[in-house]
Chain A
Amino acid sequence: MTTTTTTTAGGVKVVKPTVGSHLNDYWGRVRGGDLGTLPAVLGLVVLALIFGIARDTFFSSLNFANLFSQGAQYIFIAMGLVFVLLLGEIDLSAGFASGVCGAIMAILLTNHGWDWYTAIPAAMATGIVIGFVLGFLVAKFGIPSFVVTLAAFLAFQGILLKLLSGGKNISITDSFTLKLANSNLSVSLSWIFAIAAVVIYAGVQLNRVRTRLARGLVTDPIGIVAMRIGVLALIVLVTTALLTQERSINPVLNSVKGVPIVAPIIVVFLVIWTFVLGSTTYGRHVYAVGGNTEAARRAGIPVDRIRISVFVIGSFMASIGGILAVSRANSVDPNTGGSNILLYSVGAAVIGGTSLFGGKGKAINAVIGGAVITVIDNGMGLMGYTAGTKYIVTGLILLVAASVDALARRRAASTGNR
């Protein structure tokens, strides 16, 4: 490939980025073992096509809307796990932590008559406390996170049983809490939200190019920026168009349309954590500790505090997953956050491109990986497969994702892209 050069800060000569060189670079990184979200995106397209062809209900707006509330719990837990995985740690207790937090909320709402605006923060605070304890044990006592969170996995299961007095089911009736996972934005609000999202994204992207150009720095080629904005706009607008269709079986009695409320909640957290990881000192330090702990320590980064904080974020996000799970089920039971939830969530993060070895991962990985997991679960359900088959297939896919991660790492080591 012939390259042209340009000058950047300090007059240093660098390769001039063009659409061609950009794509070439991307391909080079992929071949060098840095696959990012590519396998998950391709997987998502292929799976959607397979299920869409096999069952026309898959692409119905009713089923499409269902995917959001179905996937929300995995996606939230996975977003928290991304932080934990970034340090090369693991949190096996995140599933039951979400169950415990959901139970606390349900008990406060139903048994103690609290309002949603006190019960929900109480559940979130529980998540924060749980994360702090886990992180403290890992960072300060040096117990491997695998062991700490495996112990917590069992203990939280026990706490959940005790909270539910040996296994009773507690229903919630609070209308706000129930709406979170079961209601939709109005059609007009849906469009306002969608258009605002596209406009803000475009604004942020273009503003970055503008400020960098003004400083004489190299920018991403404008073609690539336009492509990013275009792809996002396409996805958001098509999704919104689908979701604003009438999807009630009996529209006269009970009209159902609009973007599910969980979608903007997911987007808000995606934006927050993307900002935190990509644009703050804290996020930079998380990557540094995950990439080379010793280097981070020598750079004066408080490694222990960072380690504790990722567990706090992990359990906090699990608490939100729990709140949404309880909202969706209208109740909490001893299996809320149990069975396959944790493994689906870890699977979501890893399938989405977060490395199990630390140092590599983004919030978006949780969303894309969570979408893959949810589509598999949902699509196979539509095709009439049993839970047994679903678990086996999901297990295999997680294994494939982990192998891709491990092989990519080996390949990176051998091509010098350590």
Chain B
Amino acid sequence: MAATPLLELSGIDKSFGPVQVLHDVGLSVYPGEVTALVGDNGAGKSTLVKCVSGIYTIDSGTVTFDGNPVAVHSPRDASALGIEVVYQDLALCDNLDIVQNMFLGREKKRGIVLDEPTMEQMAGDTLASLSVRTVKSLRQLVASLSGGQRQTVAIAKAVLWNSRVVILDEPTAALGVAQTAQVLELVRRLADNGLGVVLISHNMNDVFAVSDRIAALYLGRMAAQVKTTDVTHSQVVELITAGRSGNIGLPPEKPSDFGGEIVDITPGGEQ
């Protein structure tokens, strides 16, 4: 597979007041691959994403994009690099239509007037490139779409901008079986189109279905980053719940530092 990572994080620390949520986290994202980011509730997955996308500023650590160190201070910086995030809570406006949502904050204009035909054209082209072949209308309000369709619009919004890395935070969490399959197919297609994809998921089936690599966060630490083909289902579950599995994962003395806290974490009932 691709040799050099497109996006590389190392030594990321992030605290909220006295609470350190991320400890020395590293992550590599390769073009053309789906990297699954897994971890229990509260492990810090969403926080890590928000650090990458410029919503939070990191306390220390480095972000390297395309081999160059970069500083991401705002969502605009991230977009400028070609990093797009599909947030867990979608960030769509129900009162706007599909095209309006896809271009929100980056509208095309002619003079001071919105250039609706161009935006509609680009939106249609992008949806088609994601093999979305039928919708009722591109001018349908997002409010009237199903969960899977909304997710599709959110993903299309992310790839509209020639983005190079797309990060999806639990895109299938709220979906039924059929819609989950569609969205996963879409995720795979993004990687096949050459993008670096990060898929955050709780669902081991999803992870094994589409990912090339798995990165497991455990209590704010990166327990392991492994190739999907090198690990089993139960090893990943162990990495998520205990931070280590056999000889991969955090060194043994680390988890024991946390003592009884491990017991407090709700074990994954998610498969």
Chain A residues at the B interface, C-beta cutoff of 8 Å: 5, 8-15, 17, 32, 211-212, 215, 217-218, 279-281, 284-285, 287-288, 290-292, 294-296, 298-301, 359-360, 412, 416-418
The answer to whether A9 touches B95, judged by C-beta atoms less than 8 angstroms apart, is: no
The answer to whether A300 touches B74, judged by C-beta atoms less than 8 angstroms apart, is: yes
Contacts of B133 in A (CB 8 A): 11-13
The answer to whether A279 touches B134, judged by C-beta atoms less than 8 angstroms apart, is: no
Chain B residues at the A interface, C-beta cutoff of 8 Å: 55, 74-76, 79, 87, 89-96, 100, 104-107, 109, 112-114, 117, 120-129, 132-139, 141, 143-144, 146
A-B contact pairs, 24 of them (CB 8 A): A9-B121, A9-B122, A9-B125, A10-B125, A10-B126, A12-B127, A12-B134, A13-B133, A14-B138, A217-B120, A279-B114, A287-B93, A287-B100, A288-B105, A291-B95, A295-B91, A295-B92, A296-B105, A298-B55, A298-B75, A300-B105, A359-B93, A416-B146, A417-B144
Among A17, A280, A295, point to the contact of B93 (Cβ < 8 A): A295
The answer to whether B124 touches A12, judged by C-beta atoms less than 8 angstroms apart, is: yes
The answer to whether B120 touches A8, judged by C-beta atoms less than 8 angstroms apart, is: yes
Q: Which residue of A lies closest to B112 (CB)?
A: A280
Other A-B pairs beyond A13-B135, A279-B113, A300-B75, 9, CB < 8 Å: A5-B134, A8-B138, A14-B137, A218-B138, A284-B96, A291-B93, A292-B93, A295-B92, A296-B93
Contacts of A279 in B (CB 8 A): 113-114
Complex A-B, nearest 3 residue pairs according to Cβ-Cβ distance, in ascending order: A9-B124, A299-B105, A10-B128
The answer to whether A296 touches B125, judged by C-beta atoms less than 8 angstroms apart, is: no
* Docked CA distance A416–B94 (Å): 10
Contacts A299-B91, A300-B75 given; indicate if A12 touches B138 (C-beta within 8 A): yes
The answer to whether B143 touches A412, judged by C-beta atoms less than 8 angstroms apart, is: yes
Among A17, A217, A288, A301, point to the contact of B96 (Cβ < 8 A): A288
Contacts A5-B134, A217-B120, A281-B107 given; indicate if A10 touches B127 (C-beta within 8 A): yes
Q: Which residue of B lies closest to A298 (CB)?
A: B91
Contacts of A14 in B (CB 8 A): 134-138
* Docked CA distance A17–B138 (Å): 12
Q: Which residue of A lies closest to B79 (CB)?
A: A300
Among B74, B75, B128, B141, point to the contact of A11 (Cβ < 8 A): B128
Contacts of B137 in A (CB 8 A): 14-15, 17, 218
Most buried by A among B90, B93, B137: B93
Contacts of A417 in B (CB 8 A): 141, 143-144
The answer to whether B94 touches A292, judged by C-beta atoms less than 8 angstroms apart, is: yes
Contacts of A299 in B (CB 8 A): 75, 91, 104-106
* Docked CA distance A298–B120 (Å): 22
Contacts of B91 in A (CB 8 A): 292, 294-295, 298-299
Shortest distance in angstroms between A27's beta carbon and chain B's nearest beta carbon?
14
Shortest distance in angstroms between A219's beta carbon and chain B's nearest beta carbon?
10
The answer to whether A301 touches B105, judged by C-beta atoms less than 8 angstroms apart, is: yes
* Docked CA distance A134–B137 (Å): 40
Contacts of B79 in A (CB 8 A): 300
Q: Which residue of A lies closest to B154 (CB)?
A: A295
The answer to whether B120 touches A9, judged by C-beta atoms less than 8 angstroms apart, is: yes
* Docked CA distance A32–B129 (Å): 32
* Docked CA distance A9–B126 (Å): 9
The answer to whether A10 touches B124, judged by C-beta atoms less than 8 angstroms apart, is: yes
Contacts of A295 in B (CB 8 A): 90-93, 104
Most buried by B among A5, A17, A294, A295: A295
The answer to whether B114 touches A287, judged by C-beta atoms less than 8 angstroms apart, is: no
Among B104, B117, B141, point to the contact of A284 (Cβ < 8 A): B104
* Docked CA distance A418–B55 (Å): 27
Most buried by B among A285, A291, A296: A291
Contacts of A211 in B (CB 8 A): 117
Q: Which residue of B lies closest to A9 (CB)?
A: B124
Contacts of B112 in A (CB 8 A): 280-281
Contacts of B126 in A (CB 8 A): 10
* Docked CA distance A300–B107 (Å): 12
The answer to whether B132 touches A12, judged by C-beta atoms less than 8 angstroms apart, is: yes
Contacts A284-B100, A359-B95 given; indicate if A9 touches B107 (C-beta within 8 A): no
Among B75, B94, B128, point to the contact of A418 (Cβ < 8 A): B94
Shortest distance in angstroms between B263's beta carbon and chain A's nearest beta carbon?
35
Contacts A10-B128, A12-B135, A14-B135 given; indicate if A288 touches B141 (C-beta within 8 A): no
Shortest distance in angstroms between A272's beta carbon and chain B's nearest beta carbon?
12
Contacts of A15 in B (CB 8 A): 136-137
Shortest distance in angstroms between A359's beta carbon and chain B's nearest beta carbon?
4
Contacts of A5 in B (CB 8 A): 134
Contacts of B138 in A (CB 8 A): 8-9, 12, 14, 218
